[in-house]
Chains A and B, each alone.
Chain A
Amino acid sequence: MNQSATGTLFMIDIQKGSLEISRIFAANRTLVWRAWTEADLLDQWWAPKPWRCETKHMDFREGGRWIYAMVGPNGERHGAVQRYSEILKEVFFRGEDAFADEEGNINGLLPVATWENVFTDVVEGTLVKTFVQYPNPEALQEVLNMGMEEGLKMAHGNLDEVLGDLVA
């Protein structure tokens, strides 16, 4: 485990190809849920600066999709799509996240991750736990390697149990 200065907890299990990210937000669960599920709000935070996020299509329901692009400072664009498979309002949602073209057609050459976001009330506000599972350890490594090569361009995230263990 590794806890950052802003209180984000990162865990990575390279062997399982999985990531877990936890963070407490100082707002009630209804608002935090909206920020994670409404396109106009997602557009405001999902892309790390100087990138920005542009939603093309959002249908937040089971079986629906969010099609969006990450737009870079020089106009470079990376498409991605999330497919929602299970939603329990203000409690959790599950789905897949993949690299895609701007129409939402999944890029079959890059790994598809399964996501689960869980929202829980805590004294300070709302705890959001994000579990990301790649099909195999190699897929996780591939995505992490892309990040290493391209800095912050791509929209798949994490950090680490390993380093946390060493610091502990």
Chain B
Amino acid sequence: MQRDVFQAIADPTRRAILGLVACQAMTPNTLATHFEMSRQAVSKHIHLLSEAELVYAKPNGREVYYHLNPIRMKEVADWLAPFQQLWESRFIQLDNVLQTLTEEKK
């Protein structure tokens, strides 16, 4: 089952997990030390991120490490990019309007 990526990132704990594994792959135990909640609760979040394919598990010896899936994250970025662009483009135009107004006043 593939979970909705936006449901997965809607939760602050899950966003924090993504932030951590973005820096380096981590085992569930290491991840759990960053949160004031039970290891089981953290595991549930990891599981959900994994179902959304935002992270993936890779065994290393006897441990399992969770890695960020950058391709899936890029999909999120692409989805939001038009809105950032919309405002950027607006504000650059507004800068110009303000510059003209300021010069008129001088």
- Decide: A45 near B94, CB < 8 A? Known: A156-B83, A162-B15, A166-B18: yes
Q: CB-CB contacts of B81-97 with A at 8 A, as 1s and 0s?
A: 11111111111111111
The count of chain A contact residues (Cβ–Cβ below 8 Å) is 44
Q: Answer whether residue B101 sits at the interface, using C-beta atoms and an 8 A cutoff.
A: yes
Interchain CB contact under 8 A, B80 and A158 = yes
Shortest CB-to-CB span from A20 to chain B, Å, is: 11
- Decide: A148 near B97, CB < 8 A? Known: A15-B11, A21-B87: no
Interchain CB contact under 8 A, B83 and A159 = yes
The residue that A147 contacts in the complex, of B19, B86, B88, with Cβ under 8 A, is B86
Measured between beta carbons, the chain A residues less than 8 angstroms from B79 are 144, 148
Q: CB-CB contacts of A141-159 with B at 8 A, as 1s and 0s?
A: 1001001100110011111
Interchain CB contact under 8 A, A165 and B15 = yes
Shortest CB-to-CB span from A94 to chain B, Å, is: 19
Interchain CB contact under 8 A, B94 and A6 = no
- Decide: A25 near B94, CB < 8 A? Known: A152-B89, A161-B15: yes
Q: Answer whether residue A110 sits at the interface, using C-beta atoms and an 8 A cutoff.
A: no
Shortest CB-to-CB span from B35 to chain A, Å, is: 14
Complex Cα–Cα for A144 and B84 (A): 11
Complex Cα–Cα for A155 and B83 (A): 9
Q: Answer whether residue B16 sits at the interface, using C-beta atoms and an 8 A cutoff.
A: yes
Shortest CB-to-CB span from B97 to chain A, Å, is: 5
- Decide: A147 near B82, CB < 8 A? Known: A49-B93, A166-B73: yes
Interchain CB contact under 8 A, A44 and B87 = no
Interchain CB contact under 8 A, B101 and A34 = yes
Q: Answer whether residue B10 sits at the interface, using C-beta atoms and an 8 A cutoff.
A: yes
Within 8 A of B (CB), among A34-72: 34-35, 41, 44-49
Q: Answer whether residue A117 sits at the interface, using C-beta atoms and an 8 A cutoff.
A: no
Q: Answer whether residue A91 sits at the interface, using C-beta atoms and an 8 A cutoff.
A: no
25 A-B pairs in the complex with CB atoms less than 8 angstroms apart: A4-B88, A10-B83, A10-B84, A14-B9, A15-B11, A25-B98, A26-B95, A27-B98, A35-B98, A35-B101, A44-B93, A45-B91, A48-B90, A147-B86, A148-B82, A152-B86, A156-B86, A157-B86, A158-B80, A158-B84, A159-B87, A160-B84, A161-B15, A163-B80, A165-B18
